[in-house]
A and B are shown apart, each in its own frame.
Chain A
Amino acid sequence: MTSAADNILEVRNVTKRFQGLVAVNDVSFDLRRGEILGLIGPNGAGKTTLVGMVNGTLSPTTGDIVFEGRSVRALPAFRRAHLGIGRTFQVMKPFPGMSVLENASVGALFGAKGGERNLRRAREQARESLEFVGLGKRIGQRADALGGPDRKRLELAKALAMQPRLLLLDEVMAGLNHVEIEEVIEDIRKVRDRGISILVIEHVMKAITSLSDRAFVLHHGEKIVEGPTDEVLRDARVVEAYLGKKR
């Protein structure tokens, strides 16, 4: 239905095998330019593995990843960053010994299009991303001195400082309280309003229903359902995936 030009990302028949285990089995999906797509599924379904293959942390055993019309499956992670793919991690990856500003600056210096060469401009970009997530007052602090929610904000700021065109958010809501969840939902909306396409992986369903029009579900490494978000969440197969088989 959507022409290829409308898709910023096309994942085609991707399979990932780790020795004997098939973590992701023949999964395909499209992400349209400017949309927020939800990815859900119970623990161990293969969501993080799938996302890892999009940003380059892992490479697919078979299948292809097409970003903005070109195949990127053979490209290492850093080249995909240059092309405009940014990602946050469930197990966060800050640079503990650096300041908050320096952390975000790395994103600005090495991100999309190879990043900024000029340190001053990079710092400006970094500062802007940090202000956006609400860390403006902490730019001089060491990253390892930040508390839990602030670390999540930093993780997001780092990815944003890269000026990505596609942002992969891996469980950013984990561990947040209701107020914080609302704040992050708002932030993600603002990110989309800047023209960035987003893939949101979540267990906090409120985020999925608030942000994404479409969603798909992974279970035991396979895509079992796809469609408008509220239909997906009511689908019997999805309920069974999460709650288990009735006995």
Chain B
Amino acid sequence: MIFRVIMFALICLPINAYSSNVKVHQRVFDNGLKVLVKEDHRSPVVVSQIWYKVGSSYEPGGITGVSHMLEHMMFKGTEKYPKGEFSRIIAENGGRENAFTGRDYTAYFQTMEKSRLEVSFKLEADRMRGLSLNAGELKKELEVVTEERRMRTDDKPRSKMQEHFMAMAFSNSPYKNPVIGWPSDIANYKVDDLQAWYELWYAPNNATLVVVGDIKADDVFALAEKYFAGIKTSDIKPIKPQAEILQHGIRKTTIKLPAKLPYLIMGYKVPVLNSIENDTDAYALEVLAGILDGGSSARLASRLVRGKQIAVSAGAGYNMMSRLPDLFMLDATPAEGQTVFDMEYALKEQVYDLKSELVSVDELQRVKAQVLASAVYERDSNFYQAMQLGMLETVGIGWEKVDEYVEKVNQITAEQVRDVARKYLLEDQLNIAYLDPQPIRQQKQNSKVAGGRHAH
């Protein structure tokens, strides 16, 4: 019987998953640096990530995007390792590296063959406090970031729409600002802005070092101690809460841009793990997102894309791991003959259903089965495992929660899903953006044989 197989899977899987869970080792140095190590001996490789508690949600007006700009400048050299040396040394050791900035974190990583971990530590420890910033390099890199913004946002109608949407949805929460920053802020960064930002946030007492791979925890701690334990701390004051004011009524905006397809985004203001006492609500919202968009059998694909065939695509998403209260997002692209307003109606109807009727046993089971299986699949990647630990720790939830996730999701009931829909998916807390496509004027020009414009 299918049903029995399912129940079996539900009850037994988490236990299997837990029994094979690998322990995370933690050590905190006197200077405040937290080191997390997870051993995974499947491949002779190691990933090392250093996470700083700083991102766009920490930035005051006028210098939005400065965390991201600084992330770029972190590759411009220190006194000890001048410009280009960091990347050259990592490459020469077979390593791969990069960095990323989010609303709530900035992180740098290297993936190396396991014997080269020391190379990564040596370089990363050096640039934690020793970065050389200068105006000439900033001027050039500012152009790079401006190109990045053009590529990511300015020339992409949906990305631009997303930016406008967030700016409307949040009144005073720093989530109203884009991670990459507003154009006029980017254009006006000064070396002093970056220097101050760097000195304040880049310090051991504001960082978490996460290492996952074919290494022994004690060896990693010893190596980390050698390079990081002597680094001086920074005097970091608690960041101001900037709690978003209560929204009193629906907000809507229309974005008119050259585009081919109309598009709709909706977002309800909701709490996250960090912002509520009782974390059940956050896990219930997570499950609710799965009911709507957890795979091809979930409601949005099954009902709107296939059943009614009114959308060519539709999605839902909830980020319970944000540092600050966030939005429960819905989006849809209408099918031919349908409008964004039809999409709005259809998505609201789905929300209404969640409030008025309990989700079925089968639906709930599928969401949970996928979460359980994903917990195994995720362990295929050291990088992903390190990401999870680093992110949880950096946003203030604490890495220990990583082990609770599967079990907490598993405990969520149909009633709790209905209750969070009733409690949080409220019309007065809703924000909507409509993309109204404008014609794209495009023309082909004659081709010509190369050689007309020679270089030099």
Is chain B found bound to chain A in the same assembly? Answer: no
> Interface on A for B, CB 8 Å cutoff?
none
> Interface on B for A, CB 8 Å cutoff?
none
